[in-house]
Amino acid sequence: MTTLFTSPASDEARAAFAAKPRGLVDKIMSVSEAVSRFVRDGDYFATGGFGANRIPTAVCHEIVRQRRQNLGFSGHTTTHDFQILCAGNLTGRGQLLNRVDAAYVVGLEARGLSAHARRVMESGALDVAEWSNYTLALRYTAAAMGVPFVPARSLLGTDTLAHGPAKEIQCPFTGEKLVAVPALYPDVAAIHVHEADRYGNCRFSGTSVADVDLARAAKKVIITCERLVPHDEMRRDPHRTQIPFLCVDAVCEVPYGSYPGNMPGEYFSDEEHLKLWMEVEKDPAAHAQFLDDHLFGVSDFTEYLERCGGLKRLQALRQRELLLHLGR
């Protein structure tokens, strides 16, 4: 795919950002309400996190449960979140995804490949543009800067350049060969963090990957957090705020919101549950039944957690993470 799925025009994006409220508005709502209000059919969607770490699982579940259709998606270091969204591309359930900017998708790292995500990618139903992880992150950087592209050397000399819409250019100062990496302004992004206040000021631990830029690049941002903290607490330690309230449109308190992924310093990934996802996907009938039991057959993410072992299982994952941090 050599055409862009979204416009990199910075003036258009700036007009959208200018319309966002600048006051300290209470943005607390449920995940269901956030998805209903801010994710529309045909939107371009992006997720934060890295691999299975700090992923916005609850938002991905709700998008599938509300049967959103024809979304674009930024597959930047996406593993289980992409696997979840691909559940919306099932026979009889329509087509949730129809275009993907792909850097790292389908694979769940050392766990192997998602059989269903692979079927979706190989079906021919999706338009796909290819990027490296780095250049897809640079697209958020360009958007966060408010410019239509940034120059880079990455992709030169690779086949990836031929399968995506980045363009080779010549530096006007040195004549050197470079690649113009276009800005990516998602319609909506979902990012899971450790702490947020009711206005949308956020802080998190561990690697930030591209999330700081993503929060500034997306026209709408849904935040899920492990816990809400008072605004005065944020003000006491302002240098720890990585995402400011100006970027955020919804704040949803979702304890264990990255499950079955990892949350740095909070809880370890549920490797047994991720393995179960991988196993049932090998058989389309078993996969459909699993989704009916765990996703379509529950009312919200809390009920999903209960079906996955509830508090006992979650406490075990929390203890494992803490022991790893202690080096045991």
Is 10-325 a domain of CATH 3.40.1080.10? yes
Residue 327 has pLDDT above 80, yes or no: no
Q: Are 168 and 161 in contact (CB under 8 A)?
A: yes
Mean pLDDT score of the chain, rounded to an integer? 95
> Tell me: the pLDDT tens digits for 172-196?
999 999 999 999 999 999 999 999 9
Long-range contacts for 146-151 (Cβ within 8 Å, ≥24 apart)?
A: 146/10, 146/13, 146/14, 147/10, 147/183, 148/8, 148/9, 148/10, 148/182, 148/183, 149/8, 149/180, 149/181, 149/182, 149/183, 150/180, 150/181, 150/183, 151/178, 151/179, 151/180, 151/181
Q: What integer pLDDT is reported at residue 1 of this predicted model? A: 59
Total-model pTM: 0.96
* Whether residue 112 has pLDDT greater than 80: yes
What confidence category does residue 325 fall into, taking pLDDT thresholds of 50, 70 and 90? Answer: confident
CA distance 119 to 106: 9
pLDDT at 302: 97
Alpha helix (H) residue ranges in the chain: 10-18, 31-38, 57-65, 80-86, 115-122, 133-145, 211-217, 231-236, 271-280, 284-291, 301-307, 310-325
pLDDT tens readout for residues 277-298: 999 999 999 999 999 999 999 9
Triad 221, 18, 7: Cα angle to 5°: 70
In the predicted structure, residue 270 carries a pLDDT above the cut 70:
yes
Say what the pLDDT of residue 94 is. Answer: 84
pLDDT at 312 > cutoff 70: yes
Q: Which amino acid is at 165?
A: P
Section 66-71 average pLDDT = 96
pLDDT at 328 > cutoff 70: no
Residue 92: CB partners within 8 Å, gap ≥ 6?
A: none
Mean pLDDT over residues 193-218, rounded? 96
Is the model's pLDDT at 326 over the cut of 80? no
pLDDT (average), residues 146-170 = 95
Quick check: 249 pLDDT over 80?
Answer: yes
Kindly report the length of the chain.
Answer: 328
pLDDT at 91 over 70: no
pLDDT digits 0-9 by tens, 32-57: 999 999 999 999 999 999 999 999 99
- pLDDT on residue 93: 74
